[in-house]
């Protein structure tokens, strides 16, 4: 079983990269499923109906969310009908779900979306929520479990890995938009603190540089915007999983202005 996970898709540039490259990448790397974080896919804030269907058509099998899951209210009714997750640890009664099951080649693949505490909206304890979800899946006999941990602090992400290594197949960090170089496999669990964005790579976390610079230079508020022109990137981690254990993993980076695809192999601990 080969799974591809794409980090935060930021606006039209990110969607364009998936439209241009994802189907070819699925064939090239023989991917069985692709999971992608889509909470920034609609002009950087949230996910609307049109863009959700666009990403699914491009070859994404499951979309995950985060703190911007609610920005586009039109998507809320679709959380129950399309393969779109929102963080698991929102309180009971909130629309949508934080855990989804994909059925591929006779195997059940569980995808959990969870959000951290530091510098994020008020949610329930992510560690307790995930621990309970993983136990429930194991009791059902589901061993292939993939987690999108949408969190600001690398310490939270690393701690979740320490708690769950050997119990889940992969933990992919999202939210910061900056890819980290700590891809590893430990006790059969693939881990990376942040996969990194898919979108503009030559501004500030996928956004035009003017507003962030104004904020940092003056302290005054400024609205973030997606650049009209930029150099783009697609970032994805590919895992080979057997009986719930990750055997191999690699990070790939695709650029819109280069023919080469840069790869990084996972370090085995």
| Closest among 191, 106, 115, 193 to 149, alpha carbons compared | 115
pLDDT, position 72: 96
Over the stretch 215-231, which tens digit does the pLDDT of each residue have? 999 999 899 999 989 99
- Is residue 9 within 8 Å of residue 238, measured between CB atoms? no
Mean pLDDT over each residue of the chain, to the nearest integer: 95
Mean of pLDDT values over 179-198: 97
The DSSP letter of residue 228 is S
What value does the mean pLDDT take over residues 232-240?
97
Percent of the chain clearing pLDDT 70 (strictly above): 100
Cα distances from 153 to residues 176, 177, 192, in angstroms, run 9, 12, 13
pTM above 0.75, yes or no: yes
Which pLDDT belongs to residue 228?
86
Catalytic residues: 68
Domains of the chain: 2-268 (3.60.21.10)
pLDDT of residue 261: 86
Check residue 267 and give its pLDDT.
Answer: 75
Q: What is the pLDDT of residues 93-118, one digit of tens each?
A: 999 999 999 999 889 999 999 999 99
Residue 210, burial from CB neighbour count under 10 angstroms (0-12, 13-18, 19+)? middle
pLDDT at 269: 67
């Amino acid at each position: 079983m080969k799974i591809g996970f794409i980090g935060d898709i930021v606006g039209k540039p990110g969607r364009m990269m998936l439209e241009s490259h994802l189907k070819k990448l699925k064939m090239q790397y023989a991917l069985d499923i692709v999971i992608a974080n889509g909470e920034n896919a609609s002009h950087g804030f949230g996910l609307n109906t049109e863009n959700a269907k666009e990403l699914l058509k491009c070859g994404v099998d499951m979309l995950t969310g985060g703190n911007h899951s609610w920005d586009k209210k039109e998507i809320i009714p679709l959380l129950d009908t399309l393969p779109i997750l929102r963080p698991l640890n929102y309180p009971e009664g909130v629309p949508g779900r934080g855990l989804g099951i994909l059925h591929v080649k006779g195997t059940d693949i569980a995808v959990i979306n969870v959000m951290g505490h530091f510098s994020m909206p008020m949610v329930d304890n992510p560690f307790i929520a995930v621990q309970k979800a993983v136990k429930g899946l194991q009791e059902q006999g589901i061993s292939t479990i993939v987690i999108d941990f949408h969190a600001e602090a690398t310490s939270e992400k690393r701690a979740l890995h320490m708690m769950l290594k050997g119990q889940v197949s992969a933990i992919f960090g999202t939210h910061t938009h900056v890819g980290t170089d700590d891809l590893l496999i430990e006790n059969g669990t693939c881990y990376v603190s942040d996969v990194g964005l898919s979108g503009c790579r030559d501004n500030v976390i996928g956004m035009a540089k003017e507003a962030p610079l104004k904020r940092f230079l003056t302290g005054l508020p400024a609205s973030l915007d997606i650049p009209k022109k930029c150099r783009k990137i697609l970032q994805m981690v590919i895992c080979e999983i057997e009986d719930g254990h990750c055997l191999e993993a690699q990070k790939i980076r695709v650029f819109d202005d280069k023919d080469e695809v840069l790869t990084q192999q996972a370090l085995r601990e």
